[in-house]
Structure 1
């Protein structure tokens, strides 16, 4: 199956999830919305649980790709971290599934696959990956933190300075996640992050 068709099925599942709880989303309807047979849907994902895992994997991947882009947008390290924080808050603002992936707070309306790997019999590489371990919110924080440190640190930096930078990067991402749970007031997340970074080594 072409990757584009897989994306169409995931898009159709997301659209269905926006209208009704996951328990009421039917595989036959997802297939019809994507213009493929139900058998094609099962061939691609294996089961409804497989589809749920693929949805969560896609949200996590999309978040990480956006964080990577945000960290690469500016020359100034503080603005890079601010952009990553803004992306973190915006990724979850209008997307209940992304919010759940980032915070670990799942509602009964959403699919909620286990984060541990499941036995996979899929011949589809993307599905085998989805059937592997899914990232927890803590995993996502660590991945973005480590990526930020790699981008912002200079070769030969003393270990103590790298450790301080690591703490700062983690602080910014965790601050961003707190803004997902409790949106900030006037000035938004950027002002909060800049205020924190003003007092932190970057």
Structure 2
């Protein structure tokens, strides 16, 4: 039941904004979503299962945002500036995204293990959530690779591809540094534009 699942995840996210994860009760999440507690347990199995599904959903939403940011511009420099802006704004607006990108999980947040856990769920989405969750290093690679694909254009030489991967990784890591220490005037996009070679490719 995808609609119930999304409603439950929305309710869990809203509850997390109001109180620490340890104080979030399954019965309250179910009530806020308008479903029974049994439905909640059928979908997620446990509070840990709910936490993993919530983190997986936020990770997927973050990566979908990267794809959208890369599609806004055709100029390679502006594409990279756009993902830098998305990375920092997503992290500042969503504590789960910030924790996933930095590896710094506060006591207010659920902190599901990154490794896979045995899943007995019949729900495909939950079986996926029970698989390994991305680490901060995984996010660097995932965003870098998406940026390389978006910026590469016609098939680059091996040397061009390696240089482009290096440039994209620098942009990702520079953006992550701005999550911890926000940049000054001009923001992260301007910082990235100044750091990029001319031309990018």
**5 Å matches for 1:75-154?**
75-154=74-153
SS of aligned partner of 1:168? helix
Q: How many residues of Structure 1 are paired with residues of Structure 2 in the alignment? A: 201
| 1:86–1:190 contact (8 Å) kept in structure 2 | yes
Contiguous gaps of at least 5 residues in structure 1: none
| 2:20–2:108 contact (8 Å) kept in structure 1 | yes
2:22 aligns with 23
- Of 92-101 and 18-27, more deviation after overlay is shown by 92-101
SS of aligned partner of 2:16? helix
| 1:168–1:200 contact (8 Å) kept in structure 2 | no
Structure 1 residue 154, shift from structure 2 partner: 3.2
- Of 96-105 and 31-40, more deviation after overlay is shown by 96-105
| 1:70–1:83 contact (8 Å) kept in structure 2 | yes
| 1:45–1:127 contact (8 Å) kept in structure 2 | yes
TM-score for both structures, normalised by structure 2: 0.97
RMSD of aligned alpha carbons: 1.1
TM-score for both structures, normalised by structure 1: 0.96
Provide the rounded CA distance (Å) in 1 between the counterparts of 2:134 and 2:157.
31
What is the CA deviation profile of residues 119-141 of structure 1, one whole-angstrom value per residue up to 9, with x for unaligned ones? 00001011000000000111011
Provide the rounded CA distance (Å) in 2 between the counterparts of 1:127 and 1:199.
45
SS of aligned partner of 1:72? helix
1:195 aligns with 194
Structure 1 residue 81, shift from structure 2 partner: 0.6
